[in-house]
Amino acid sequence: MPKPCITRRTMLTVASLSPLCNLASASSTESNEPYALPDTAVHDVPDPKTGRKYQLWVEVPKSYKGSTSSVRFPVVFLTDAPYAFPLVRSIRARVGQGGQNIEDFVLVGLAPAVGETSATSRLRDYSPSNPLLRPQRKTDHYGGLAYGEAEQYREYLEQVAIPKLQSTYRIDMKRSIYIGHSYGGLFGAYTLLSSPSLFSRYALSSPSLWFDQRVMFAFEASYAKSHRDLPAQLMMYCGSYETIRPEPRFYKDEDMVRDMKDFERILKGRRYPSLKVGSQVVSDEDHFTVFPSVATRALLWALPGRGPYTSG
């Protein structure tokens, strides 16, 4: 592992990922030491503009240590790190097969602001506008304390977090993959339209394009007025239950499958020469269950391994 240039670096533990790990019996004679996740590090990287304290969770593949200093690795950025980081880490270990099925990459989890709940941090940082300013908003859809700071968070990633990572790890930002679910997918769509070259590939899982009266479609229309190209590759995914029907698991008032297909159709209609865009509806999945499948599909799409593919 490289010597850190960031304020704090420690190995992630299971206790740091889940409070359930603190429930060990006090009378147990076994060690209560938390399980540590090998080859991981936590970096404190605050935002100097807001004063918020953010962390970057990082894991390098086993091949990183044995490679020369000239070798740079693709990098995968995940939103909602407390959930997504250990999940994708496990998917890489199992499905990746040491680079045969999925190319080895440096994994970066974008954790919520320190001292805030994940919900408070993500609703503010991942949303491009503030629906609380609209009197006609659906009040049951917006229970957060603050919204609309996606631009500030994007600038933090672009100007602070990513440069710190580049100075510490051998990452190749020309092969950078963004994976975000729900509001994380919304933030990915916003970044695509505000700074498309920040990441080379975008995998948006159940993006919340319904947010604030589908405001992202207005952002797209504004982008199209002043741009003739959109240099990125985009894949979007939704579960088949993320549409409107009366049965259990379906939505009652938000059709995320429709929104995804509308967004894809509009982008394709612009005929941007450098944009590659597609979508998939994942069968038998809802908003809560779809992400593990999407994460696997996204990695296979964005970083195919050296092959031939093996399933055991």
- The string of pLDDT tens digits covering residues 3-24 is 444 444 567 876 566 544 444 4
CA–CA distance from 264 to each of 45, 271, 299 (Å)?
35, 11, 20
Q: What is the dihedral of CA 10, 52, 163, 15, to 10 degrees?
A: 20
Domain range list for the chain: 14-19+35-302
- How much is the pLDDT for 32? 83
Write down the mean pLDDT value for the chain.
Answer: 91
Q: Write down how long the chain is.
A: 312
In this structure, whether the domain defined by 14-19+35-302 belongs to CATH 3.40.50.1820 is answered with: yes
- How much is the pLDDT for 20? 41
Maximal CA-CA distance, the chain: 67
Q: Reduced to 3 states, what is the DSSP secondary structure of residue 240?
A: coil
pLDDT-derived band at 309 (thresholds 50, 70, 90) equals: very high
150 has a pLDDT exceeding 90 = yes
The whole-angstrom separation of Cα 26 and Cα 15 is 16
HSE-up of residue 47 (Cα within 13 Å, Cβ side):
21
pLDDT in tens, 113-145: 999 999 999 999 999 999 988 777 776 677 888
- How much is the pLDDT for 8? 46
Query: Could you tell me if 57 and 85 are in contact, meaning their C-beta atoms sit under 8 angstroms apart?
Result: yes
What are the contacts of 7-10 at 24+ separation with CB within 8 A? Answer: 7/43, 7/44, 7/45, 8/42, 8/43, 8/44, 9/41, 9/42, 9/43, 10/41, 10/42
- Mean pLDDT is lowest, of 24-33, 56-65, 238-247, 254-263, for 24-33
- How much is the pLDDT for 66? 86
Q: What angle do CA 116, 151, 138 make, to 5 degrees?
A: 70
Global pTM value: 0.91
Please state the rounded mean pLDDT for residues 165-181: 97
Q: What is the dihedral of CA 86, 238, 148, 54, to 10 degrees?
A: 10
Strands 276-282 and 55-59: unpaired
Please state the rounded mean pLDDT for residues 186-196: 98
30 has a pLDDT exceeding 80 = no
197 phi and psi angles, rounded to 5 deg:
-80, 0
250 has a pLDDT exceeding 70 = yes
In the chain, what percentage of residues exceed pLDDT 70? 91
Sign of CA dihedral 264, 180, 300, 250: negative
The whole-angstrom separation of Cα 170 and Cα 183 is 29
The whole-angstrom separation of Cα 211 and Cα 224 is 20
The letter for the amino acid at 295 is A
